[in-house]
Structure 1
Amino acid sequence: MPREDIAFQTSDNVTLRGWFYTPEASSTTPLSCLVISHGFTAVKEILLDIIAAHFTSSLPISCLVYDHRGFGASDNHPSAPRQEIIPSLQCSDISDAITYAQGREDVNKEKIGVWGTALSGGHVLRVGAVDRRVKAVLSQVPMVSGWENFHRLIRPDFVAGLNHLFQEDRLARAAGKAAGTIHVVDPNPMATSALQTIEAYEWFAEWAKTTDWKNEVTVKTMEEFRSYNPSFHIHHISPTPLLMTVAENDALMPTDLALTAYAKALEPKELQLLPGGHFDVFGPNFEKSVGRQVDFLKKTLCA
């Protein structure tokens, strides 16, 4: 599929970089556009190219894919550390990506949707509720409650140590020292890491071989993660159509939390429940997940 390298400015003047996909067949009229955002610390080279190409080959739609600020090819503020996730800023950046798309002559300004997976699966719930320009929300294996998710991921006997780490990092940064970091994943179950599951380690370790993904995230990221509640406004997404894709045995973004959030959403909404774990939506369940998402987009953005 045709792909263009793009860059756009956020509302606080950070340059984000990515790709803009269009269908093979040229169009004389502006097309719908889907803004695609990746999950926790992931970069766009981790399968977002495959997803965008699948959508643009199946539908008369364009796709905007980009790296989050401070990750991959995107910039960050000079005073801000890389490898740091501030959810409110990432959500604001999604809205800025929408603004960029609206400024393109080849995009139908009234037909823009958002797609997110994992942490960004939560982001699109928040953005879909508060940014009324969004006309379709596709949330895949989402993080919906930071507090609950944090305390499922982190062993109880590690929590006190992390709380101390949060305090020490704040003091160090206030004194002008560099931001503290921890591993995203670690094969040692006794090591401090952000995503303490074997499947997360195996997934990211494999992608680290072929992309510029870095096994590092700031300490502050985890403090922000715990306090983030992206599903708080989920009932405000309506009347914008919502499709939530959930894995039946998701240990990373727990299944029951996602289903509880989905139950609070108002119509129109659709639930896709797939077998397997968190990363299976990119593996054995890929065709099922994107197939349902294509059908959803046909009825909404591409109707």
Structure 2
Amino acid sequence: MARRDVEFDAEGVTLRGWFYTAEGASGPAPTVVMAHGFSAVKEMYLDAFAEVFAAAGLNALVYDNRNFGASDGEPRQEIDPWAQIRDYRHAITYAGTLAETDASRIGVWGSSYSGGHVLVVAAIDRRVKAVVSQVPLVSGHDNVRALVRADFLAGFREMFDNDRLARFHGDPPAMVPVVDADPLAPSALPTADSYTWFTETGKTRAPSWRNEVTLRSVELFTEYEPVTYLPYISPTPLLLMPALGDHLTPSELAIAAFDLAHEPKKLSILPGGHFDAYVDGFDVSSGPARDWFVEHLAP
């Protein structure tokens, strides 16, 4: 499996990652652009997906989001969904400059938070010729209300407001854990399976992952509504893959959002929970994604 380190400019911020060369390609080949979800870094199984795509004759460009992992950007550990969307588009531009890439056959893949990003990118960037969205966030408004008790929401808003005032006065951004062993403790992703997956995967595969994000990242999460872009993806082919037992980005939200998209589209409901798509259910999630890209990016 041929893989090389790459870096590219995203309007003044250097993003770094890997480029996987399509196996068996004798000339420019389709390329899948990939980035990870909320706070995750590329070592958290994106290499496994890229290897599946490369084995099927697809190049894969995998990179760390700005402010995370190997990529530059400040403030560190801050997630701005719209900045990440713009970076997907910078990555598409960069991929198109590579000799290995057929710029007329580029797809985007995203998972969880970036599963929402690719819905937006596919709707607004017609260079995208196929999109796969795995266990996606589709509505920050609805998702936060599925994760956070109603009587806790006012406390979060007070924290956001206090942080905004502190930043105005020049203080560094407030930080919050991504996950916590106690689901009722303040954290960005307050589910038990989030804690297990991030802590275990961080130890075994991704020592650069840090269990913190800026509090503003959580505020931006609550304002983010990829669902509004679903009707505009067509005629780009869309594969949406929610997980049946997902309670981090609840499957019922994604399934309802799928109804807003127009053809061509396909709904593939994965077994298991949110994080099974990366581990125990990897073959079930990576196989349909690979087949979708092969079908719609083939010559």
TM range (shorter): over 0.9
Aligned partner (choices 216, 221, 228) of residue 225 of structure 1: 221
**Could you tell me which of 271, 282, 289 is aligned with 1:293?**
289
**1:259 is aligned to 2:260:** no
Matches within 5 A, 1:121-270: 121-210=115-204, 211=206, 212-270=208-266
Q: Please, which of 38, 42, 57 is the counterpart of residue 40 of structure 2? A: 42
- Tell me how far apart the structure 1 counterparts of residues 53 and 179 of structure 2 sit (CA, whole Å): 30
User: Which residue of the partner structure matches residue 33 of structure 1?
Assistant: 31
Which among 67, 75, 84 is matched to residue 81 of structure 1?
75
Contact 2:21–2:100 (CA<8 Å) still a contact in 1? no
Alignment counterpart, residue 64 of structure 2, candidates 62, 67, 77 = 67
Provide the rounded CA distance (Å) in 1 between the counterparts of 2:118 and 2:203.
29
- In 2, Cα distance between equivalents of 1:119 and 1:87: 8
Counterpart Cα distance in 2 of 1:40 and 1:298: 27
2-structure distance, mates of 1:276, 1:270: 19
State the distance in 2 between where 1:153 and 1:73 align: 30
2:279 to 263, 276, 283: 283
Distance 1:14 1:37 in 2: 16
CA distance in 2, matches of 1:201, 1:63: 29
**TM-score between the two structures when normalised by the length of structure 2:** 0.97
For the 8 Å contact 1:60–1:302, the answer to whether it is kept is: no
1:157 positional shift: 2.6
Amino acid at match of 1:18: G
Q: Quick one: distance in 1 between partners of 2:279 and 2:4?
A: 26
Report the Cα offset of residue 173 of structure 1. Answer: 0.6
What whole-Å deviation, never above 9, does each CA across 1:67-123 have from its counterpart, x for those lacking one?
0000000000xxx31111111100000000000001112100100000000000000
Write out the 4+ residue segments of structure 1 that deviate beyond 4 Å after TM superposition. none
**How much has 1:242 moved relative to structure 2?**
0.4
Contact residue 241 and residue 267 of structure 1 kept, 8 A = yes
Q: Select 1:91's aligned residue among 52, 64, 85.
A: 85
2:15 is paired with a residue whose SS is strand
Q: What residue number does 1:22 align with?
A: 21
Alignment equivalent of 1:116, drawn from 110, 114, 119: 110
Q: Answer yes or no: is the 8 Å Cα contact 1:136–1:240 preserved in 2.
A: yes
Distance 2:99 2:22 in 1: 15
Distance in structure 2 (CA, Å) of the matches to 1:24 and 1:160 = 53
- CA 264–6 in structure 1, closer or farther in 2 if over 3 Å, else same: same
Structure 2: tracts of 5 or more residues without a match: none
SS in 1 for 2:44: coil
Task: Quote the Cα distance in structure 2 between the aligned partners of 1:292 and 1:167.
Answer: 43
Query: What SS is found at the alignment partner of 2:129?
Result: strand
Identity %: 49
Distance in 2 between the 1:295 and 1:23 partners? 14
1:129-161 CA deviation, whole Å, 9 max, x = no partner? 000100000000000000000111122232111
Inter-partner Cα distance in structure 2 for 1:249 and 1:190: 20
Pair 1:8-2:4 in alignment: no
How large is the RMSD of aligned CA atoms in angstroms? 1.0
Q: TM-score, normalised by structure 1?
A: 0.96
State the distance in 2 between where 1:118 and 1:238 align: 21
Contact 2:239–2:265 (8 Å) recurs in 1: yes
The CA distance in 2 between the partners of 1:255 and 1:192, in whole Å, is 24
The 8 Å contact of residues 44 and 202 in structure 2, kept in 1 or not, is answered as no
Amino acid paired to 2:35: S
CA drift at 1:208:
2.1
SS at match of 1:244: strand
Deviation at 1:61, TM superposition (A): 1.1
